[in-house]
Amino acid sequence: MDFDLNEEQQAVLAAVGQLLAQRAGAERAIELAKKAEYDGELEAALSKSGFLDVALDVEMGFLEAVLVTEAVSAAAGVVSIGAQLLVAPGLTRRNLPGPVAVTRLGHRGPVRFGAHARTLLLDAGDEARLIELDPSKAEPVRSNFGYPMGRIEIDPIAGESLGPGSGATLRNWWRLAIAAEAVGSMGSALDVTVAYVKQRHQFGRAIGSFQAIQHRLAQCAVLREATRWMVYEAAYKGAPADATATAAAYATKAADQIFAETHQLTGAMGFTREHDLHVWSMRLQALRLEAGGIYGHQRAAAQARWLGR
Amino acid sequence: MEFEWSQEDREFRRELQEFLDENLPGNWDQISKDGPGSDAQAEFASEFCPKLAQKGWLTQNWPREYGGRDATPWRHAILGEEMWKRGEPRSSQYMNVNWVGPTIMRYGSEEQKAAFLPPISEGRATWCQGFSEPEAGSDLVSLRTLALRDGDDYLINGSKIWTSYCNYAQHCFLVVRTDPNSKRHRGISVLLVPMDTPGIEIREIPSLVGERYFFEVFLSDVRVPISSRLGPENEGWEVVTYSLAFERVGAPRYARAALTLDELAKLAEERGLLEDPTVLEKLGEARALCEASRLLTYRVIDLRAHDSPPTADTNVARVAGTMAERAVSELAFEIFGPEALEYGHSAEAHYRLAMTAGVAVGTTEVNLNLIASRFLELPKE
Ligand SMILES: Cc1cc2nc3c(=O)[nH]c(=O)nc-3n(C[C@H](O)[C@H](O)[C@H](O)COP(=O)(O)OP(=O)(O)OC[C@H]3O[C@@H](n4cnc5c(N)ncnc54)[C@H](O)[C@@H]3O)c2cc1C
C-alpha cells in the first residue's frame, strides 16, 4: 500500500498542468460553450505531448490516465478525455481517433460529444461495438450541461463487435471514466465555492465563517476526497466490476450533492454565466445521468459484490 | 501509488484469521454480545491479549526497544480490521496499543516508558481515558478537574464522565488542569494515574450502548507523585491532540460495517429480497460508503507510514466512517424489520455500536469544524 504519487506521476501531473494552464480553463470553456464547440486544439496539444497515450505507455498505465483525466476535467477541458484516456484503451487496448463518444443501446437524449465524435463506443448489452461516425452528419443538441452534445442515431449492427462479454468490460471502464471526470469537476466546483464564501460578506462577515456553511462544505470535501481514492484504486486494479461500480455509485451521488451545495452557497451569483461555478457544476449533472445513473451504478455495485455479475 | 497488500501482509492476515478461528471459543458470539466493555469480554481479553503478544502481533508496529517489531502501521491496521470484524476480542486493550502506548512513547520519560510500555506490549495492561467531564464534552478544553502541586505530589480533585472500561483499568490517562488560573488550552497537563489510588471512586452509568460502557470517575484528594505527569506541565494540550490523532482512526469501524453488510446481503438473497431493485440500490450505496471509509482511513495510515504529522485527513476519515456505519445499520433495520428489536440480534448489536459513531471520540460536528478550518481554511466565526 502506498498512497503517494511517485516521481513519474508527479512529473506527468506537473507537465499536463502546465499545458492546461495555457490552453484550458473556465474562460476558454465558456467561450467554446457559446457555440457548443469542441476543443480540437486542446486535444491536438494533449496528443502531441503524448498525454493521450499514457494508458498504454509501457512506463505508465491507467493510474496515470486517471490522473490526467482528473486534471483535464478540473481545468474544464472541452475534450472527450475519459472516453479517450480510459474507455478506449481499456476496452480495445488501442487509442482510438477522437473525439470519442460512449453510449448504450436504448439511450434516449443527447450524448456527450455526440455532435463531434468520430468514434462511438456502444454498450450493446453482452457485447460492445466500435462504430465510426461521420461528424458532418452529426445532429447537435442544445444543452446547458457543460459539454457539447449531440444526438446519435444508434444502429445496433453498425461497426465492429468487440466480442462476447465485451459489453461488461465497456461498462466497467465507462464507470471509471465518469467517476474520474467527476473528481476533477467536483474539485474545481468546490474550490471556486470555497474561494467565494471566503470573499463574500453578509451580516458584516465572510459567509464562510458561518458554521452552517462550513459544515456543508466540509461534508463536500469528504465526498471529494473519498471519490478520488476510490477512482485511483479502481484504476490501479484495472477497472474490475465491483470497484468501478462502487466508485461510480459514490461519485455520482457525491456529484449530485456537491452540485446542490455549491449552487446553494454561492447564491444568485452561482447561477450566472459570469461566475465560473457553472462550468463544472453543470457537468456534474451530465456525468451523474450517464451509463445508468446513480441507481444503476448502485445496483451494479451490489450485483458485482454479492451476485457475481 | 500502489493499492495492494504485500505478499507478507496477506500472509499475516491469513495467519491471523486462522489464529482467531482457533482461539475464539465456540460461544464467542455469546461472550461478545454485550460489547467490548462487558465483564465476559474483558475477562476473555486478559487471556487472549497475552497470546497475541506472544505471537508478536499485539504491538508489532512499535519499535523493537519498546516491545515491537518495527512493522509498518499497515500491519497494525490489518490487526485492527480483523479484531473489529470479530467484535474486538482485545476488549479495551485496543486503546493501549492504538494511542496510549504511542503517546507515552512520544512524551514519556525513560522511567515512564520502562514502567508502562512493556505491560502494554505483553497484553497485560488495562487503561482508561479520563478526558470528558460533565461540563467538558466537545469543548474539552473547558475541563475543570484540578491537580495542584503539594510538595512532590499533585493533589487531584474533580470528576470525569463517560469513562469506558475504567472498572477494569489499572491506569487512567487523565487530563487535568495544573494551573488553576489558566483558561482554555493553556494550563492543561496529562497524568498517568493508577486507578487504585485512594480517593478514586467510580460509578456505572446505565446506557443503551452495552454493558459497562459508561462510568463516572470521582477524584477527591487523589495524591500522585509529580513524576506521573506525561509531558510538560501546563502544555499538555499538545499531548492530548497527539493522542486524539491516533485515536480517531484507531477503531476501523468500516471493517465491521462491511462485514455486517456482507451478511445482510446474504440474508437478503436467502429471503429473495435481491429481486427488489431498491434493496440492491441500498446495498450498493452502503457498500460504496464502506469503501469510501476504508480508503480514507488507509489514507491516514499511509500518512503515518510516511511519518507525516497528523492532518485533518483524520477528521475526513472519521466523518466518512460515521456515514458508513449509519448506512449499514439502518439498512440492517430495513432488511430484518422488527426482528432487529430483540436484544442480541445481529442487527441490534451492530446498531448499538454504530449509533455512537458520530459522538464517541469527538462528534461529527467537531470533525466538520476541523475540516472547515484546517482542510478548507475557512475563516473563524
Ligand atoms: C460510546 C462512548 C464512549 C466514550 N468513552 C469515553 C471515554 O472512555 N473517555 C472519555 O473521556 N470520553 C468518552 N466518551 C465521551 C465523548 O468523548 C464525548 O461524548 C464527546 O466528546 C462529545 O461530548 P458530549 O457527549 O458532552 O456532547 P456535547 O459536547 O454536549 O455535544 C452535544 C451536541 O452538540 C454538538 N456541538 C457541541 N459543540 C459544538 C460546536 N462547537 N459546533 C457544533 N456543534 C456542537 C455536538 O456535535 C453534539 O451533536 C465516550 C462517548 C461515547 C458515546
ipTM over 0.90: yes
Query: Which residues form the pocket of ligand 1, taking CB atoms under 6 Å from any ligand atom?
Result: B 128-132, 137-138, 162-164, 209, 213, 356, 359-363, 365-366, 369
Question: Would you state the pLDDT for residue B293?
Answer: 97
In a domain, A82, yes or no: no
Q: Are A67 and A176 in contact (CB under 8 A)?
A: no
In this structure, the answer to whether residues B136 and B119 fall within a common structural domain is no
Work out which ligand 1 atom sits closest to the CA atom of B131: 11
Question: Would you state the pLDDT for residue B252?
Answer: 86
Name the average pLDDT for chain B: 94
Q: How far is the CA of B364 from the centre of ligand 1 (A)?
A: 9
In this structure, the answer to whether residues B101 and B183 fall within a common structural domain is no
DSSP 8-state class, residue B88: -
Instruction: Select the residue of B281, B295, B379 nearest A233 (Cβ to Cβ).
Output: B295
Confidence of residue A156 (pLDDT cuts 50, 70, 90): confident
In this structure, the answer to whether residues B102 and B156 fall within a common structural domain is no
High-pLDDT (> 70) share of chain B, %: 99
In this structure, the answer to whether residues B179 and B80 fall within a common structural domain is no
Cα dihedral A163, A166, A170, A172, rounded to 10, equals -170
Q: What residues pair up with A119 in beta bridges, in sequence order? A: A100, A132
What are the cell numbers at A177?
471514466
Q: How far is the CA of B286 from the centre of ligand 1 (A)?
A: 25
Q: Which range marks the domain in which residue A204 is found? A: 168-307
In this structure, the answer to whether residues B78 and B116 fall within a common structural domain is yes
* Residue B249 clears pLDDT 80, i.e. is over it: no
Name the average pLDDT for chain A: 97
Phi, psi of B189, deg, nearest 5: -140, 160
In this structure, the answer to whether residues B25 and B144 fall within a common structural domain is no
Tell me the per-residue pLDDT of B288-299, one tens digit each, with 9 for 90 and over.
999 999 999 999
Q: CATH number for the domain including B213?
A: 2.40.110.10
A119-124 and A100-104 beta bridge pairing: parallel
Q: CATH number for the domain including B93?
A: 1.10.540.10
A211 and B CB contact within 8 Å: yes
* Residue B247 clears pLDDT 90, i.e. is over it: no
| Average pLDDT estimate for B334-344 | 92
In a domain, B60, yes or no: yes
In a domain, B243, yes or no: no
Q: Which range marks the domain in which residue B334 is found? A: 248-375
**CA dist., res. A303 & res. A281, Å (int):** 30
**CA dist., res. B255 & res. B291, Å (int):** 9
In a domain, B242, yes or no: no
Question: Would you state the pLDDT for residue B250?
Answer: 67
In this structure, the answer to whether residues B167 and B275 fall within a common structural domain is no
Predicted TM-score (pTM) of this structure: 0.96
In this structure, the answer to whether residues B162 and B114 fall within a common structural domain is no
In this structure, the answer to whether residues B139 and B33 fall within a common structural domain is no
Number of domains in chain A: 1
Using the structure block, give the residue that is written with the C-alpha cell 446498531: B351
How far away is chain A from the Cα of B272, in angstroms, using its nearest Cα? 12
In a domain, B50, yes or no: yes
- For residue B21, give the amino acid letter: D
Work out which ligand 1 atom sits closest to the CA atom of B136: 26
**Could you say which of B66, B99, B125 is where a domain stops?**
B125
Q: Which residues contact A34 (CB under 8 A, 6 or more apart)?
A: none
Q: CATH number for the domain including B333?
A: 1.20.140.10
* Residue B248 clears pLDDT 80, i.e. is over it: no
**Could you say which of B98, B125, B152 is where a domain stops?**
B125
**CA dist., res. A20 & res. A43, Å (int):** 11
In this structure, the answer to whether residues B136 and B228 fall within a common structural domain is yes
**Could you say which of B68, B91, B125 is where a domain stops?**
B125
Tell me the per-residue pLDDT of B187-242, one tens digit each, with 9 for 90 and over.
999 999 999 999 999 999 999 987 778 999 999 999 999 999 999 999 999 999 99
In a domain, B333, yes or no: yes
| Average pLDDT estimate for A95-100 | 95
All residues of chain A having their beta carbon less than 8 Å from the beta carbon of residue B249 are: none
Helix (H, G, I), strand (E, B) or coil at B268: helix
**CA dist., res. A59 & res. A8, Å (int):** 9
Tell me the per-residue pLDDT of A45-58, one tens digit each, with 9 for 90 and over.
999 999 999 999 99
Q: How far is the CA of B129 from the centre of ligand 1 (A)?
A: 14
Q: Are B288 and A226 in contact (CB under 8 A)?
A: no
In this structure, the answer to whether residues B19 and B88 fall within a common structural domain is yes
Q: CATH number for the domain including A249?
A: 1.20.140.10
In this structure, the answer to whether residues B367 and B292 fall within a common structural domain is yes
Confidence of residue B243 (pLDDT cuts 50, 70, 90): very high
Question: Would you state the pLDDT for residue B353?
Answer: 85
Question: Whose CA is closest to A107, among A119, A96, A121?
Answer: A121
Tell me the per-residue pLDDT of A195-247, one tens digit each, with 9 for 90 and over.
999 999 999 999 999 999 999 999 999 999 999 999 999 999 999 999 999 99
Number of domains in chain B: 3
In Å, what is the CA distance from B165 to each residue of B117, B173, B189, B300? 19, 12, 22, 26
In a domain, B254, yes or no: yes
How many residues does this entry show for chain A? 309
Question: Would you state the pLDDT for residue A309?
Answer: 77
